[in-house]
C-alpha cells in the first residue's frame, strides 16, 4: 500500500569516509526515503566542533515527520534547520570555541515536487536522460570568482581559497539557506555530496558513475573509492537516489 502523496519508490545508496589526509570525519548525512528527505552536512571547526555541528543538523532534520504538502515539508525542514543553528551556537558558546558550523545540501520530495535547500558548497546534482545538472550553486568565494569569469572550474578546485564559504549553518544568529524547487520525474538519479567529492572529480566523472546500472549503494561506494584513489584531501560523502515508478500506479495509468 502506497501513501497517496508518494509518486515514486526511492532506491538510496549512501557512503562517507574521512579521506586520506584527515584524522576524523566531520561529515554527517541523513537518508530518509520514507519521508522523502536526504541531506549531507559538512562540518567545520575541528574535532568536537565540526562533527558535532553536522550531527546536530542531521538529528534535527531526521525529526521532520510526515508532511501534508510540499510546502509543509519545506516549512518543517526549515524550522529544524533553525533549531540546529541555535543548538550549534549554544554548543560553540558553552565550549568557548571559535567559529563552528556546517554546510548543508538537502533534497526533499513530496509527490513529484522536488525541493533543494542548501548553504555552503555541498551540492545536489540531477541526472535526467543522460544529462547531469547541478541544482545548487556554491556559496563560496571561488564560486563567485567562477561566476564572474575570473577563475575556471579547474582553477577553483585547486585554489587555496576553495574552502572559503560564504554561507553555513551555525555561524550567525539566523541561518540563510537557499531554496530551489522543481519537479521530479521517474528514473531521475540524484546525487547529494560534500565538497570532498567535487574537489577531486569533475561533473563528467560524476555523470559517468551515475549512469551505471548497479545498485545505488554500489554507485555511492564507487564515488567514494574513486575519490580516495585521487587523494581525498577532505572528508567525502555521497548519497545516490533513484526515483523509480511505483508499479501499481503505472498499471493504473495504462
**Coil vs helix vs strand at 186:** coil
* Number of domains observed in the structure of the chain: 1
**DSSP one-letter string for 105-131:** EEEEEETTEEEEEEESS-EEEEEETTE
Does any domain span residue 102?
Answer: yes
Report CA torsion sign: 111, 35, 37, 213: negative
Residue labelled with grid coordinates 558513475: 209
Is the distance from CB of 80 to CB of 125 less than 8 angstroms? Answer: no
Query: In this structure, what CATH number is given to the domain that contains residue 108?
Result: 3.60.40.10
Q: What is the dihedral of CA 125, 128, 130, 134, to 10 degrees?
A: -20
208-226 burial: b if 16+ Cβ within 10 Å, else e: ebbeeeeebeebbbbbbeb
Look at residue 135 and tell me if it is in a domain: yes
Q: Is residue 69 part of a domain?
A: yes
**pLDDT for residue 5:** 65
Residue 1 lies in a domain: no
Q: Is residue 169 part of a domain?
A: yes
Quick one: CA dihedral 13, 56, 78, 117, positive or negative? Answer: negative
Angle at alpha carbon of residue 252, lines to 250 and 254, rounded to 5°: 70
Residue 118, all three cell numbers: 542548501
Look up the domain containing 155 and give its range.
8-253
Is 90 part of any domain?
yes
Query: Taking phi first (over 0 means left), then psi (-120 to 50 degrees means alpha), and beta for anything else, what does residue 108 get?
Result: beta
**φ and ψ at residue 210, rounded to 5 degrees:** -70, -20
Does some domain include residue 3? no
**For residue 72, is it within any domain?**
yes
Angle of the 203-210 helix axis to the 216-229 helix axis, nearest 10: 150
Walking along the chain (254 residues) 10 residues at a time, the average pLDDT comes out as: 70 98 95 97 91 98 96 98 98 92 98 97 98 96 87 79 88 96 97 96 97 97 98 96 84 47
Amino acid at each position: 500500500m502506497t501513501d497517496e502523496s508518494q509518486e515514486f519508490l526511492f532506491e538510496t545508496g549512501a557512503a562517507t569516509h574521512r579521506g586520506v589526509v584527515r584524522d576524523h570525519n566531520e561529515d554527517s548525512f541523513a537518508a530518509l526515503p520514507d519521508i522523502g528527505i536526504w541531506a549531507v552536512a559538512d562540518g567545520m571547526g575541528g574535532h568536537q566542533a565540526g562533527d558535532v555541528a553536522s550531527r546536530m543538523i542531521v538529528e534535527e532534520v531526521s525529526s521532520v515527520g510526515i508532511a501534508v504538502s510540499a510546502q509543509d515539508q519545506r516549512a518543517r525542514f526549515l524550522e529544524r534547520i533553525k533549531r540546529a543553528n541555535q543548538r550549534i551556537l549554544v554548543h560553540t558558546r558553552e565550549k568557548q570555541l571559535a567559529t563552528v558550523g556546517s554546510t548543508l545540501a538537502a533534497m526533499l520530495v513530496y509527490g513529484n515536487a522536488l525541493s533543494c535547500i542548501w548553504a555552503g558548497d555541498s551540492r545536489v546534482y540531477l541526472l535526467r536522460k543522460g544529462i547531469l545538472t547541478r541544482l545548487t550553486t556554491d556559496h563560496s568565494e571561488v564560486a563567485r570568482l567562477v561566476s564572474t569569469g575570473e577563475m575556471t572550474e579547474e582553477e577553483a578546485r585547486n585554489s587555496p581559497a576553495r574552502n572559503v564559504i560564504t554561507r553555513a549553518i551555525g555561524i550567525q544568529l539566523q541561518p540563510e539557506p537557499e531554496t530551489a524547487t522543481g519537479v521530479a520525474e521517474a528514473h531521475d538519479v540524484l546525487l547529494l555530496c560534500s565538497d570532498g567529492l567535487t574537489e577531486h572529480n569533475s561533473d563528467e566523472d560524476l555523470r559517468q558513475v551515475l549512469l551505471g546500472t548497479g545498485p545505488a549503494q554500489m554507485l555511492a561506494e564507487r564515488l567514494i573509492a574513486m575519490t580516495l584513489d585521487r587523494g581525498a584531501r577532505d572528508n567525502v560523502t555521497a548519497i545516490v537516489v533513484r526515483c523509480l515508478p511505483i508499479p501499481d500506479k503505472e498499471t493504473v495509468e495504462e
